[in-house]
Structure 1
């Protein structure tokens, strides 16, 4: 007598590359939009990095020119904005208005495949944005070490962390008006997470709070590899961003299962 062999259980997210391939095909002719996404951080770099940098000179306590100090922070912010934009605005549109996932879930793709695929797409957008900004920084003469190339994989980790966080936040959004709460968090974080000045300028009581911000950790990672300073802060940032992305993605999958048709 023979017994049937149980079907091998598929790993959650195994078919996510199929959704990623779909997004690549659909967006083949829209990568020009990335130029507009890079315009804002480049404008900040020129206006503040070089404009204010002409007055400041070097960052206090170091010989790092101010533009070279600001550029990694803006690169991290560009990766963050690219990932968050993909997993909030576009995912919300697909859930509430396009009903895109209803058609996806009648295929062999699962909710986990959808979530992992969307975060994977956010990672790709973050990497492309970071690569473009890194190339612009090189043209402006702001790259002084070959270690700066590690900013690209760093951007991938940032995209994963903020992409997962964006997916989780989107599961709580009720309408378009709720997007103002995202901006209420994103803009202050961009301004105060040491994008333009070091942590030491803050009062001692505020420094631990600033250090808990995910963008601060992202900036620490990119700034560390861009300047070739591989201290403890870089390791902490890698662990922080990895755990944030994994935890947020796990929670997002659970919430999406209750919102999307299985």
Structure 2
């Protein structure tokens, strides 16, 4: 682990000079919040069945959407690092060839990159959380659980991204990632409650990792912490462990042969 932390330190030193790139990743969820959460929210009004606040019952639509975008920010921040950025390091910059000439192992590289991607996802989430607070969309002190929640989301998606990048052959293959991520973003209760779907679709949505990530963030953000958080937490831990289990042997073959 100490060797893996050296790789984390290396990435921190690099991003010390390019920190503004993290701010750029805060911009995307902020635009969704403004256009859909606030804009369309003026037409939607309140989301019923989640709380008893508001003149028509339910919670404000922008309050409902904001935690989902926080979870999405953690997901994208972590997975972009272990897919897009790592692909460049693997195929173009050949960064790991020089790193593995040191006492560091492939395991150290994998753990170090996952730790950095996790931290990156948390930093982006914290940046967007500041935006959410500035818009007055924080209504519960339990929203502080967003930080460990974002770390868990980051771990799960960073580990899966690490496995995915070992299968990518060229930049065109990134279209397959978008083919999976975009529908998941749209259907995983980001903008609509689960109850709007027929039961068979609800079951499919509940299996999506982004849905579980949103649950982990949304419930405490709405002031509803409790045992319901256990399922998404276990789901994401197992997802991250499985991602690492697949990624490590494939990285061994990719980097040492």
**Given the alignment, which residue of 4, 25, 30 partners 2:18?**
30
Q: How does 1:105-144 map to 2 (within 5 A)?
A: 105-144=100-139
Match of residue 193 from structure 2 = 198
Asked if the contact 2:142–2:225 (Cα under 8 Å) also holds between the matched residues in 1, the reply is no
Task: Report how far residue 232 of structure 1 moved.
Answer: 4.1
Match of residue 80 from structure 1 = 75
Secondary structure at 1:172's aligned position in 2? Answer: coil
TM-score (norm 1): 0.93
Q: How does 1:36-51 map to 2 (within 5 A)?
A: 36-51=24-39
**Given the alignment, which residue of 188, 192, 202 partners 1:207?**
202
Match of residue 90 from structure 2 = 95
CA RMSD in angstroms comes to 1.1
Asked if the contact 2:166–2:251 (Cα under 8 Å) also holds between the matched residues in 1, the reply is yes
Match of residue 243 from structure 2 = 248
Q: How does 1:215-226 map to 2 (within 5 A)?
A: 215-226=210-221
Task: Report how far residue 14 of structure 1 moved.
Answer: 4.2
Task: Report how far residue 52 of structure 1 moved.
Answer: 1.2
Which structure 2 residue ranges, 5 or more long, are not aligned? Answer: 51-57
Partner Cα separation in structure 2 for residue 31 and residue 50 of structure 1: 28
1:105-159: CA deviation from partner (whole Å, max 9, x where unpaired):
1111110100000010111111101101111111110001111011011101100
TM-score (norm 2): 0.95
Larger Rg: 1
1:21-75: CA deviation from partner (whole Å, max 9, x where unpaired):
0001111011111221111111110111111111111112232111110000001
Secondary structure at 1:52's aligned position in 2? Answer: helix
Partner Cα separation in structure 1 for residue 222 and residue 229 of structure 2: 11
Secondary structure at 1:116's aligned position in 2? Answer: helix
Partner Cα separation in structure 1 for residue 72 and residue 32 of structure 2: 11
Which structure 1 residue ranges, 5 or more long, are not aligned? Answer: 1-12
**Given the alignment, which residue of 220, 226, 229 partners 2:224?**
229
